[in-house]
Structure 1
């Protein structure tokens, strides 16, 4: 298995080597959790899909404006500390 990053061409869930890449355009936009319709910013994602099990990962294409939007509008998830 891999570290779980489908961009490496192998699925970290099932171990399959049938990973395909496409593009996903968020129709509703990227917004804070529970924000309703305000504050949305349309994002384009690289989409990676395992054709064996269906596991999917989206990776947003970050430019300076999108990076700023993410930092200002979304909830930060601090790195997990510990062994659990």
Structure 2
């Protein structure tokens, strides 16, 4: 897990140690920004919420079918080279 990953129980924004976990079910489905709905997909996310500052992280529960769906529908963001 990367620094700032709230799955460790610590908020990456404020450093608080009271992170709560729940589920978030997307009702509208996945889409490109500004595009219409892509169908009846209802992805489930693990939601991590800092009760001190409200910072929230969503982590999609991926299986092979959802990964394939995402690859076929959403644009890829390529890693950027570090500045230095």
User: Fold conserved (TM > 0.5)?
Assistant: yes
Q: How does 1:3-82 map to 2 (within 5 A)?
A: 3-37=3-37, 39-40=38-39, 41-82=41-82
Q: Gapped runs of 5+ residues in structure 2?
A: none
CA contact (8 A) 1:6 1:48 kept: yes
CA contact (8 A) 1:33 1:74 kept: no
Q: Gapped runs of 5+ residues in structure 1?
A: none
Aligned residues: 82
- Distance in structure 1 (CA, Å) of the matches to 2:13 and 2:42: 29
Superposed structure 1 runs of 4+ greater than 4 Å apart? none
TM-score (ref. length: structure 1): 0.89
CA contact (8 A) 1:25 1:44 kept: yes
When the two chains are superposed, the root-mean-square deviation of aligned CA atoms in Å is 1.5
Measured after TM superposition, the shift of residue 9 of structure 1 is 0.6
